[in-house]
Amino acid sequence: MKVFNTLSRQKEEFVPLQEGKVSMYVCGPTVYNLIHIGNARPMIVFDTARRYMEHKGYAVNYVSNFTDVDDKIIKKANEEGVEPSVISERYIEECKKDMKALNVKEATTHPKATEEIGGMIDMIQTLIDKDHAYVAQDGTVYYKTRSFKEYGKLSHKNLDDLRSGGRSLLVSGEDQKQDPLDFVLWKPKKEGEPYWESPWCEGRPGWHIECSVMSKKYLGEEIDIHAGGEDLIFPHHENEIAQSEAANGKEFAKYWLHNGFLNIDNKKMSKSLGNFFTVRDISEKYDLQVLRFFMLSAHYRSPLNFSADLMEAAKNGLDRIVTSVANLNYLLENAADGEAAEKEQTLLKEAEGYITKFDEAMDDDFNTADAVSAIFELVKFANTNASGASSKAFIQALKDEIVMLSDICGLIVDKKEEILDTEIEALIQERQEARKAKNFARADEIRDTLAAQGIILEDTREGVKWKRA
Ligand code: AMP
Ligand code: ZN
């Protein structure tokens, strides 16, 4: 398997640090709002990469953080007159719902910045002790970029240009910086902001340190893959490398993977530009499987333009697969038992060619666009060759192959496997009874089971209502 490494700017053979295991860290969202579909792109594409590696037999330890202390969260909290944690907890829950509906697998660990402050203080102290950081008069701690000889190795930027450009860009309060590229590790509290005790001042961490700390804590000092959107290459990931490698004395991550931007009218979709759709907006019009399929129709590194036409095309594409599987289910119900006949065996060999094609595409830096084409070819093959005269074994084999490849892409195409309305209602009934009997553990378990199937419960005055996410 080859992956494109931003560090070397080329495709490299993927060799994990430990045989059979992959450690992977994906920078997660800042939780002050519902996620937009641009934020969903790294979630979907790196979840697909994870699924493919798991399919190949790797045990993937997947960590993705929530940034829950940040200016935007604090601003929103002040506007609403609540604690910042009320805002961040609210949007973490909403984000998790969106991820479920997008069929993004739960991370092995989902750490939150505010729960890792102790580890951040420790790493900052190590950086000070090793002379990679300094404390300014007001208690701000800065990273000393000049002390890290390899600073700039990920972004391949001309640092001297950045430095001279940066001098005039110094904002007020940053005049204690020794170098324009130095960045904040810890900053003093301001009125109305959450803060923590530290050896330097009461304050809070800069943004970059959290990922260095969480990655080390949950995955170790050296990891296989670090990923995120391409806007994170500089300065976020560059700074993470500087922090981790200076503190630990080891190479931080072997492979750096970055997704291209999701654009709208060929402009970057972002909250600050106001040209965005939330995942929730899209869910009002489409099953979110369509959004997932849309994202996978392009290579993850390419820019992708969002448009109504492309979403319609994605809907039709996904429908083709779902309809084919439904048709195979129908044929299965009516097919005669028995092994695949000789001619069918030959056809199944031919069908394996599409699986090979799929694997080759995914082995080539997770080329989901070509992988999806291979699924379409398999679907066409199944539509042409399975009929009322086919054996059960043959139809089942074709169906299993389509479902397996779709599943690697995180696409649910066998609607028969979906939980039925009657089953949902029975579980809700059982949950009500468990609650009455004060068996909250069982009640929560049922809610989680349903949530895992994308069923959202709502307690209303008229009783429990449910909907599919
Ligand atoms: P943020 O909450 O802005 O830190 O973003 C969370 C993740 O979403 C990061 O990996 C970003 O790079 C990514 N991201 C944000 N906007 C877009 C976009 N328009 N297209 C693709 N990825 C994005
Ligand atoms: Zn990060």
User: Sorting pLDDT into bands at 50, 70 and 90, what band is 316?
Assistant: very high
User: Sorting pLDDT into bands at 50, 70 and 90, what band is 173?
Assistant: low
The pLDDT of residue 466 is 84
Residues of each domain in the chain carrying CATH 1.20.120.640: 320-408
Q: Which ligand 1 atom is at minimum distance from the Cα of 260?
A: 21
φ, ψ (nearest 5 deg) of residue 71? -55, -40
Give the model confidence (pLDDT) of 395-454 as tens digits: 999 999 999 999 999 999 998 766 667 788 888 989 989 999 999 988 888 888 888 777
Q: Which ligand 1 atom is at minimum distance from the Cα of 304?
A: 20
The pLDDT of residue 419 is 66
C-alpha 28 – ligand 2 centre gap (Å) = 7
Place of tokens 């008069």: 137
φ, ψ (nearest 5 deg) of residue 461? -65, -30
pLDDT above 70 covers a percentage of the chain that reads 97
| Residue of 250 and 455 predicted with greater confidence | 250
Structure tokens at 288: 């979110």
Structure tokens at 420: 């039925």
Structure tokens at 422: 């009657």
* Residue type for position 208: H
| Residue 226 host element (H or E) | strand 223-229
The pLDDT of residue 171 is 56
DSSP string, 65-124: -BB--SHHHHHHHHHHTS-HHHHHHHHHHHHHHHHHHTTPPPPSB--BGGG-HHHHHHHH
Q: How big, in percent rounded to 5, are the helix, strand and coil portions of the chain?
A: 50, 15, 30
d(CA 216, CA 222): 8
- DSSP letter at 30 equals B
Topology given in CATH for the domain delimited by 320-408 = Four Helix Bundle (Hemerythrin (Met), subunit A) (1.20.120)
> Strand 21-26 to strand 223-229: parallel, antiparallel, or no bridges (unpaired)?
parallel
Coil, strand or helix at 455: strand
φ, ψ (nearest 5 deg) of residue 411? -100, 125
Give yes or no for a contact between 178 and 134, defined as CB atoms under 8 angstroms apart. Answer: yes
Q: Report the b/e string of 212-230 with b at 16+ CB within 10 A.
A: bbbbbebbeebbbbbbbbb
Query: The whole model's pTM is what?
Result: 0.89
Give the model confidence (pLDDT) of 244-253 as tens digits: 999 999 999 9
Query: Above 70 in pLDDT, residue 166?
Result: no
Rounded to 5°, angle at Cα 250 from 59 and 25: 35
206 lines ligand 1 (CB under 6 A): no
Choices 2.60.410.10, 3.30.420.10, 3.40.50.620, 3.40.50.1820: CATH for 2-259: 3.40.50.620
Residues of each domain in the chain carrying CATH 3.40.50.620: 2-259
Give every CB contact of residue 18 below 8 A, 6+ residues apart in sequence: none
61 lines ligand 1 (CB under 6 A): no
Rounded to 5°, angle at Cα 248 from 247 and 249: 100
The pLDDT of residue 167 is 59
User: Sorting pLDDT into bands at 50, 70 and 90, what band is 458?
Assistant: confident
Give the CA radius of gyration of the chain. Answer: 25
257 lines ligand 1 (CB under 6 A): no
d(CA 295, CA 282): 13
Give the model confidence (pLDDT) of 9-27 as tens digits: 999 999 999 999 999 999 9
Angular region, 167: left φ>0, alpha ψ -120 to 50, beta rest: alpha
Structure tokens at 157: 């930027």
Give yes or no for a contact between 123 and 213, defined as CB atoms under 8 angstroms apart. Answer: yes
User: Sorting pLDDT into bands at 50, 70 and 90, what band is 161?
Assistant: confident
User: Sorting pLDDT into bands at 50, 70 and 90, what band is 150?
Assistant: very high
Ligand nearest to the CA of 262: 1
Report, as an integer, the average pLDDT of 268-297.
Answer: 93
Average pLDDT, whole number, for the chain? 94
The pLDDT of residue 162 is 83
C-alpha 137 – ligand 1 centre gap (Å) = 34
Report, as an integer, the average pLDDT of 213-237.
Answer: 98
Report, as an integer, the average pLDDT of 210-229.
Answer: 98
38 lines ligand 1 (CB under 6 A): yes
Give the model confidence (pLDDT) of 68-112 as tens digits: 999 999 999 999 999 999 999 999 999 999 999 999 999 999 999
d(CA 235, CA 185): 13
188 lines ligand 1 (CB under 6 A): no
Query: Of the candidates 121, 73, 117, 118, which has an alpha carbon nearest to the alpha carbon of residue 95?
Result: 73
Count CB atoms within 10 A of the CB of residue 447: 18
> Strand 223-229 to strand 203-205: parallel, antiparallel, or no bridges (unpaired)?
unpaired
* Residues, the chain: 469
Ligand nearest to the CA of 231: 1
292 lines ligand 1 (CB under 6 A): no
d(CA 264, CA 304): 8
* Residue type for position 241: I
Give the model confidence (pLDDT) of 334-378 as tens digits: 888 888 889 999 999 999 999 999 999 999 999 999 999 999 999
